[in-house]
Structure 1
Amino acid sequence: MPYIFNEDNIREIRESNDIVDIISQHIALKRTGSNFVGLCPFHNEKTPSFSVSPSKQMYHCFGCGAGGDVIAFIMEYSKLDFVEALKLLAERANIVLDEKGTNVNTKKEKEKNMLYSLNKEAARYYFNNLTKDKTALKYLYDRGIQDKTIRTYGLGYSNNSWDDIYTFLKSKGYSEIDIEKAGLIIKHRDGNRYYDRFRGRVMFPIIDVRGRIIGFGGRVVRDGQPKYLNSPDTTVFSKGYNLYGLNIAKKYSRDKILLVEGYMDVISLYQYGINYCVASLGTALTLNQSKLLKRYSNDIYICYDSDNAGLSAADRALDVLREENINAKVILLPTGKDPDDFIKENGRERFENLFKDSYNYLDFKINFYRKKYDLNTVEGKVSFTTDISSMLKNIKSPIELDAYVKKVSQETNISVDAIKEEINHNRDSYVNSVIKDKYINVNYRNNNKYNILPVKYNLESGHLMAEKKLLYFIINDKNIYNHIKDRFRPEDFLNHVYRRAADITYELYNSGEKINSEKIAIHFEGEELEKLKEVFNLKLDFDEEEKFKAVEDYIKKIYYYELKIKKNDIKEQIAEIQNNKARIKGDVEKLIKQLCMEIIEIDKELKLQQ
């Protein structure tokens, strides 16, 4: 059910937020006659063409044509939808938003608002603590962090005590359950007491694009492990959906955003005027984070540490950003340096010069795989050429393709013709492969924030039960997860609810967190949550040996069904080719024969699975 708002309520919100006040918080305005003018925030210009009318409560840019009321400005400037912009302005004016017929869960909304308030109290407390702890302040000063920057990012310190934040928040009227829901305390294994999650750490509040504190990161000051610790996922915070520093970066840059690895990289670069920096939150960049980045810029520069781990992370980030059609490039730092080190040693100008020498997707991949393989061996050359050719198949420009083919040929001494043949082979394989989107309902995409799509076919009841039971064991038994994680991935689930739940579970395991049903359930609602509860409520009683045997049977059943789908898909491809022979270039009979051979191979596998 969509949001429906009272028109009088919308008018009250609009009239209570003066457009000049709102816009002047984001750009400098100068009065000229009865209006105000300034540089347009929506396109680059040197002469002001952006006009704001106090009498009409409207804005208009004579350069790019942007215009509208205060709600339209917030939507465009902050990249919010209508509902988000309306809520932000209502909060600012202390107006209760009259929502009718909405699908908002009131209880959940109340919990979110409670957590925002609780986190704000905690952040203030941590900030005040920092001024009293000389060791923590010295750590920041030694890293070159100035008082002004500490205030800008709201840095703080969690006292090295087992119950400091617990005691403080209790004194503010919050319950143990509230503080635990915020992820700031952990229940002791004896079940009778709690202790602070963050102890003896410099605290980095994590703030969303609407300025709300949703979680924290903590960096140990004295000896201790782990070095960095983040809030667990809560009702208001999910690591894979947020970026550190975006609340500040979005104010300063419209043409590019710099993606770095850590909190200190963001803060240090900000001090040198690189104020368009963000960092992923202790995890590899996710598709949802790339979607968030795209709201603010389509040009993303990746600048990770120059060690092997950093290069591998940049390689993965490029692939994720490419999925969103983002123009992504990689800045390579000298060996052994991170952005924080480099800018301190070389200054802003030299750092910004690195943008000119950044690597686009293919240039980085060639450079990365060149180091990955030994090009002095035949095996290394073949692996390098095969990997790069699979990427070159997507290039549409013949001139660009020719340039890259020659580049690979020079690297490997493999002939241009052989490389082109490999590229064409990759294209054929791609066309004949099973396209998973063929099994999915495209209409589901609009309402699925995880972009994990449901299967179009009606799944057999036996297959569904196998997926349900397998997911149950993955959630409830880390030994099972470790046993299958490298050969059975979340995307191997065909049911979209189970696939999404598995994706969240794998991420929780990878981050070292303990798994429970609540941490997974908070990401679901409605029918999907009911479907997931069926998994949580299963009662499976196996001894250890039987459990592992059962899991293998479930995986076997799932693969069996996937093979049947693949077989049906190939049959459809054959029928399509036969109906369109006249329009297909190349040896049609040979192509059909290849597909028939694939069916024979699948039939062999199906017999083995029975």
Structure 2
Amino acid sequence: MPGYYSDEIIQEVKEGNDVVDVISEYLQLKRTGSNFKGLCPFHNEKTPSFVVSPSKQIFHCFGCGESGNVINFIMKYQNVSFPEALELLADRVGIQLQQSDQKEYNRKRKKKDKLLEINRETARYFYRNLSNNDLGHKYLLNRGINNDTIKTFGLGYAKNSWEDLLKYLLHKGFTQKDIEESGLIIKRKKMEGYYDRFRNRVMFPIIDVKGNVIGFGGRVIDDGQPKYLNSPETPVFSKGYNLYGLNIAKKYARNDKIILVEGYMDVISLYKFGIKNCVASLGTALTKDQVKLLKRYSDKFYICYDNDNAGINAANKAIDVFKKQGLESHVVILPEKGDPDEYIGKHGKEAFYKVLDNPYNYIDFKIYMYKKKYDISDLDNRIHFTREISKMLKNINSPIERDAYVSRISEDTNISEEAIRKEMSNKNSSRPTTSKDKYIKYNNRNNNKDSIKPVSYSLEPGHLIAEKKLLKLLIDDKNIYNRVKDNFKPESFFNDLYRKIATNVYDMYEKGLEVNSDELLDCFNDDKDINTIKKLIEEDIQISNSEKIKAVKDFINKINYYKLKIKRQKIKDQIRNIETNDNKGDVGKFEKLCMELIKIDKELKLHQ
């Protein structure tokens, strides 16, 4: 990430870009009184609820709640980071941006531009290869992929050669070092030199929502292994942050759902049949960052994975990821074994649409999964099944919906509705923990005050919450590190584990690296610490980019306030000790401590 920009330059960019003028370049706005109104680009609507205020220089949608200033609009609409949005707007009005670490930023930007250029040239190379290679071309045609679809997705072919791509890119003037960093070649182990990563494969360029070729997927056209091979992680490609086909699906998802499938060929085959709102994850389980990316383009999501055990289990994990992000999603289970590519090829578009018309919602799919786990024809399994379902049904807010499911489970299991409701209200059956249960259980609580420890996030002391949130922001955003590094050091963290995490995070940034979750976890050995760090990394702090800096200041202020209180208490203890022991010889020390106490009280007032 680039260095941070000063508040002054950010303000200059905002003032130079009138919010109405900028948004009018993307949306059709009509004046209504002192404001402007239009259809919201961030959710589907027929009646305009998107309002732009020229006087306040902000936008707000009364339908979906999205709001912010001109920079926030560009970030969300263009799906770019804060620095990228700032650069776009600065270029628009001819403002020269100055960063705190311009040299380092320029170096990284130049490196990324070079890798994108290599990928772009490689995609062209693979595409030309396909038209000149009967083997790869026939493979796609036999799979029902026509030339128009090949062109739309930029499909290509990697020759059955060890160094053909390497020689081509070297001839184009790229260095061997840059080509290696792009992930397109691999260093030989037993001899000098490099060889092409992709050989004798149909190639799928992975294109981000901005149109950049960021990586590649390759499929063998014979019996070779692995069947699919993807680009490794590079400075421009991260599997957990991108989705295959989203550059195309985003155009059609505004007024429709997004269908999430498993493979490249699923996306391409469905597109060929006119279903163009499909995306696929990149060989990994669905991540929260991918869901956040999808959220920008739709609010309806259908998961249609392969109908086998692996696909069903993957769908089960995926629907939970959507749930944790507060999004509703549905699971589509194909009527027969196979993937969407095979099903639509065999049965056609209309049959596939019929399957889409009967998806499972979250509760129905979980019931389906529990029925796969427990054979309810067996009494013991039927009891276990009902207990598991009861835990889930008690969390349904709607009493009507809850009663409907209780009735259905009763019919399925031949267990009375009354018994199921009693199970749901059973205090010993994993009920949500109340505030009284946050501490150690039973009648020993009051006799073990020294061992009482809060286990709930909400019951942590305020300064620890502040430390945790500040640390999370530091891990996620180098801009925050650049802003606080001179005034807030790792040793400023009160919590021992947070202090150790911060030390490693600062060290990574100081070395010019990004914070990599796996590398950060490798710095710790204790399982308890590792679990805490994993939870911290996965935690989603709901703070908009425009509020981040203010939040950081508030967190640091709260931490410093707590430290002052600790210091104040220590001084008071020292004063009390002098008074209690009547240490007359400590009069000078007593006066000095009193003066320190007065000074700290003044500082505490400033932090309140």
- On whether the aligned pair clears a TM of 0.5, the verdict is yes
CA offsets 1:83-103 (integer angstroms, 9 cap, x no match): 433445789x89896243368
The separation in 2 between residues aligned to 1:435 and 1:237, in whole angstroms, is 37
Equivalent position SS for 1:198: coil
The separation in 2 between residues aligned to 1:142 and 1:94, in whole angstroms, is 52
The answer to whether the aligner puts 1:149 opposite 2:176 as a matched pair is no
The separation in 2 between residues aligned to 1:556 and 1:43, in whole angstroms, is 41
CA offsets 1:575-597 (integer angstroms, 9 cap, x no match): xxxxxxxxxxxxxxxxxxxxxxx
CA offsets 1:458-492 (integer angstroms, 9 cap, x no match): 2379x97xxxxxxxxxxxxxxxxxxxxxxxxxxxx
Contact 2:17 2:93 (C-alpha < 8 Å) held by counterparts: no
Q: Report how far residue 115 of structure 1 moved.
A: 1.0
Structure 2 letter corresponding to 1:524? V
CA offsets 1:338-393 (integer angstroms, 9 cap, x no match): 21122233333332333331111000110121122111223322332233233223
Q: 1:498 to 1:326 in 2, by over 3 A?
A: farther
The answer to whether the aligner puts 1:459 opposite 2:458 as a matched pair is no
Structure 2 letter corresponding to 1:332? I
- The aligned counterpart of 2:5 is 3
The answer to whether the aligner puts 1:395 opposite 2:388 as a matched pair is no
Structure 2 letter corresponding to 1:98? L
The separation in 2 between residues aligned to 1:416 and 1:115, in whole angstroms, is 62
Q: Report how far residue 402 of structure 1 moved.
A: 1.8
- The aligned counterpart of 1:189 is 189
- The aligned counterpart of 2:349 is 348
CA offsets 1:180-230 (integer angstroms, 9 cap, x no match): 111111111125221111111111111112111111110111221000001
- The aligned counterpart of 1:490 is none
Contact 1:13 1:95 (C-alpha < 8 Å) held by counterparts: no
Equivalent position SS for 1:202: strand
The separation in 1 between residues aligned to 2:195 and 2:312, in whole angstroms, is 37
Equivalent position SS for 2:401: helix
CA offsets 1:48-104 (integer angstroms, 9 cap, x no match): 99999xxxxx9999999999999777545334455433445789x898962433686
Structure 2 letter corresponding to 1:197? R
Structure 1 letter corresponding to 2:97? D
Equivalent position SS for 1:305: coil
Q: Report how far residue 114 of structure 1 moved.
A: 1.4
Q: 1:207 to 1:427 in 2, by over 3 A?
A: same
**Stretch moving more, 59-68 or 419-428:** 59-68
The answer to whether the aligner puts 1:112 opposite 2:112 as a matched pair is yes
Q: 1:191 to 1:430 in 2, by over 3 A?
A: farther
Q: 1:6 to 1:414 in 2, by over 3 A?
A: closer
The separation in 2 between residues aligned to 1:163 and 1:98, in whole angstroms, is 42
The answer to whether the aligner puts 1:442 opposite 2:476 as a matched pair is no
The separation in 1 between residues aligned to 2:205 and 2:387, in whole angstroms, is 45
The separation in 2 between residues aligned to 1:534 and 1:341, in whole angstroms, is 41
Q: Report how far residue 257 of structure 1 moved.
A: 1.0
- The aligned counterpart of 2:415 is 414
Contact 2:303 2:330 (C-alpha < 8 Å) held by counterparts: yes
What's the % identity of the aligned pairs? 49
The answer to whether the aligner puts 1:279 opposite 2:287 as a matched pair is no
The separation in 2 between residues aligned to 1:100 and 1:376, in whole angstroms, is 68
**Stretch moving more, 383-392 or 305-314:** 383-392
Contact 1:9 1:98 (C-alpha < 8 Å) held by counterparts: no
CA radius of gyration, larger in:
2
Q: Report how far residue 415 of structure 1 moved.
A: 3.0
- The aligned counterpart of 2:178 is 178
Q: 1:144 to 1:86 in 2, by over 3 A?
A: farther
The separation in 1 between residues aligned to 2:228 and 2:65, in whole angstroms, is 46
Contact 2:13 2:90 (C-alpha < 8 Å) held by counterparts: no
- The aligned counterpart of 2:270 is 269
The separation in 1 between residues aligned to 2:430 and 2:133, in whole angstroms, is 61
The separation in 2 between residues aligned to 1:202 and 1:331, in whole angstroms, is 28
Match for 1:428 among 421, 426, 431? 431
Structure 1 letter corresponding to 2:116? Y
Equivalent position SS for 2:108: helix
Equivalent position SS for 2:161: coil
- The aligned counterpart of 1:382 is 383
- Correspondence list, 1:233-382, <5 A: 233-254=233-254, 255-382=256-383
Equivalent position SS for 1:259: strand
The separation in 2 between residues aligned to 1:533 and 1:322, in whole angstroms, is 26
The separation in 1 between residues aligned to 2:329 and 2:132, in whole angstroms, is 43
The separation in 2 between residues aligned to 1:200 and 1:153, in whole angstroms, is 19
Contact 2:257 2:300 (C-alpha < 8 Å) held by counterparts: yes
- The aligned counterpart of 2:441 is none
The separation in 1 between residues aligned to 2:230 and 2:292, in whole angstroms, is 22
The separation in 2 between residues aligned to 1:295 and 1:559, in whole angstroms, is 30
Equivalent position SS for 2:334: coil
- The aligned counterpart of 1:215 is 215
CA offsets 1:422-448 (integer angstroms, 9 cap, x no match): 333445364447446757523444454
Structure 1 letter corresponding to 2:153? Y
CA offsets 1:7-61 (integer angstroms, 9 cap, x no match): 887899999x9988x649xx9x9xxxxxxx9987556577999999xxxxx9999
- The aligned counterpart of 2:130 is 130
Equivalent position SS for 1:428: coil
- The aligned counterpart of 2:515 is 524
The separation in 2 between residues aligned to 1:354 and 1:143, in whole angstroms, is 22
The separation in 2 between residues aligned to 1:84 and 1:228, in whole angstroms, is 33
The separation in 1 between residues aligned to 2:408 and 2:307, in whole angstroms, is 24
- The aligned counterpart of 2:485 is none
> Unaligned regions of 5+ residues in structure 2, if any?
30-36, 53-57, 439-454, 478-489, 533-608
Equivalent position SS for 1:226: coil
The separation in 1 between residues aligned to 2:109 and 2:271, in whole angstroms, is 34
Q: Report how far residue 234 of structure 1 moved.
A: 1.1
**Stretch moving more, 68-77 or 192-201:** 68-77
Equivalent position SS for 2:157: strand
Q: Across the two proteins, how many residue pairs are aligned to each other? A: 473
The separation in 2 between residues aligned to 1:332 and 1:282, in whole angstroms, is 20
The separation in 1 between residues aligned to 2:419 and 2:503, in whole angstroms, is 44
Equivalent position SS for 1:192: coil
The separation in 2 between residues aligned to 1:193 and 1:408, in whole angstroms, is 64
Q: State the structure with bigger RCO (CA 8 A, min sep 6), 1 or 2.
A: 2
**Stretch moving more, 108-117 or 192-201:** 108-117
Contact 1:19 1:69 (C-alpha < 8 Å) held by counterparts: no
**Alignment RMSD, CA only?**
4.7
- Correspondence list, 1:72-87, <5 A: 74-80=74-80, 83-87=83-87
> Unaligned regions of 5+ residues in structure 1, if any?
30-36, 53-57, 465-494, 502-516, 537-550, 561-610
- The aligned counterpart of 2:99 is 100
Q: 1:242 to 1:429 in 2, by over 3 A?
A: same
The answer to whether the aligner puts 1:199 opposite 2:190 as a matched pair is no
Q: Report how far residue 177 of structure 1 moved.
A: 1.8
The separation in 2 between residues aligned to 1:89 and 1:154, in whole angstroms, is 31
Contact 2:14 2:70 (C-alpha < 8 Å) held by counterparts: no
Structure 2 letter corresponding to 1:240? G
The separation in 2 between residues aligned to 1:128 and 1:202, in whole angstroms, is 12
State the TM-score, normalizing by the size of structure 2.
0.66
Q: 1:224 to 1:245 in 2, by over 3 A?
A: same
**Stretch moving more, 405-414 or 256-265:** 405-414
Q: 1:47 to 1:359 in 2, by over 3 A?
A: closer
The separation in 2 between residues aligned to 1:141 and 1:179, in whole angstroms, is 31
The separation in 1 between residues aligned to 2:400 and 2:69, in whole angstroms, is 47
